[in-house]
């Protein structure tokens, strides 16, 4: 009787460093490690800086309530913006208008003595004032009395632009409208200090004040 053929079991071999699958696996591990290190390194390049939470008018104090902290990548521009690594000094004021979400530039803030504007309230046409809001930029026109009396009312010399692109700090509420037929409403604007005296003089003489909105410059985007 002949014997049936038998099969011998093949032995499993330990993977060799020459095995292409092992090499690919090692390379993938190394690649993922390097990529992870790069991502972490890039995240570490972000620095904390202050950003305006809302519009900050020229001359207003900049406090912890008016700013928030954002971590952004600035590279060589880091020195241009106010670092949040330290608390804000108590004597910090906006030297120009800061838009909501804008990174606070170092050159845009300073001590109270460096502020070159002063807020002043002006009575303007109530309808025109209703179209304005805090943070708007306006040109200021003054229409002075010409010294002669008309048959019905005071006559004026004609409007003259006296200020350009000043910031609106606040607009009075609707229930504060003044007057009868010629209703006016108070609008608070930030005026250069050297222009305050002349503007107050025009108001005292009974000049009509008109505020004309102008396009605002876009805020610097946060990165």
How sure is the predictor about 46, in pLDDT bands with cuts at 50, 70 and 90?
Answer: confident
- The number of distinct structural domains making up the chain is 2
Claim to verify: residue 197 and residue 208 sit in the same structural domain: yes
Claim to verify: residue 105 and residue 127 sit in the same structural domain: no
Domain boundary among 51, 81, 115: 115
Claim to verify: residue 123 and residue 100 sit in the same structural domain: no
Percentage of residues in the chain with pLDDT exceeding 70?
74
For 62-89, the pLDDT digits (tens) are 999 999 999 998 888 888 999 999 899 9
List the domain range (segments joined by +) for residue 35: 19-115
Rounded to two decimals, what is the model's pTM? 0.69
How sure is the predictor about 106, in pLDDT bands with cuts at 50, 70 and 90?
Answer: very high
For 87-98, the pLDDT digits (tens) are 999 999 999 999
Claim to verify: residue 109 and residue 121 sit in the same structural domain: no
Residue 124 in tokens: 């303007």
What is the C-alpha separation between 27 and 30, in angstroms, rounded? 5
Task: Say which residue the tokens 């605002």 belong to.
Answer: 216
Query: Would you put residue 53 in left (φ > 0), alpha (ψ -120 to 50) or beta?
Result: alpha
Q: What is the CATH number of the domain that holds 71?
A: 3.90.1210.10
């Amino acid at each position: 009787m002949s014997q049936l053929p038998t099969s011998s079991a093949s032995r499993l071999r330990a993977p060799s460093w020459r095995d292409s699958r092992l090499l690919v696996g090692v390379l993938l591990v190394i690649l993922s490690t390097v990529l992870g290190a790069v991502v972490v390194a890039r995240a570490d390049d972000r620095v904390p800086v202050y950003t305006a939470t809302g519009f900050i008018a020229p001359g207003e104090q900049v406090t912890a309530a008016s700013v928030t902290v954002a971590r952004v990548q600035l590279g060589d521009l880091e020195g241009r913006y106010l670092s949040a690594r330290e608390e804000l000094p108590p004597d910090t004021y906006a030297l120009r208008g800061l838009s909501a979400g804008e990174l606070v530039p170092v050159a845009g803030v300073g001590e109270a003595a460096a502020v070159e504007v002063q807020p002043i309230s002006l009575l303007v046409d109530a309808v025109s004032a209703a179209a304005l809001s805090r943070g708007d930029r306006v040109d200021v026109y003054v229409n002075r009395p010409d010294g002669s009396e008309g048959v019905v009312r005071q006559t004026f010399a004609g409007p003259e632009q006296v200020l350009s692109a000043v910031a609106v700090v606040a607009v009075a509420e609707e229930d504060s409208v003044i007057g009868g037929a010629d209703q006016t409403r108070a609008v608070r604007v930030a005026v250069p200090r050297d222009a305050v005296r002349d503007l107050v003089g025009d108001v005292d003489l009974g000049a009509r004040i008109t505020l004309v909105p102008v396009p605002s410059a876009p805020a610097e985007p946060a990165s």
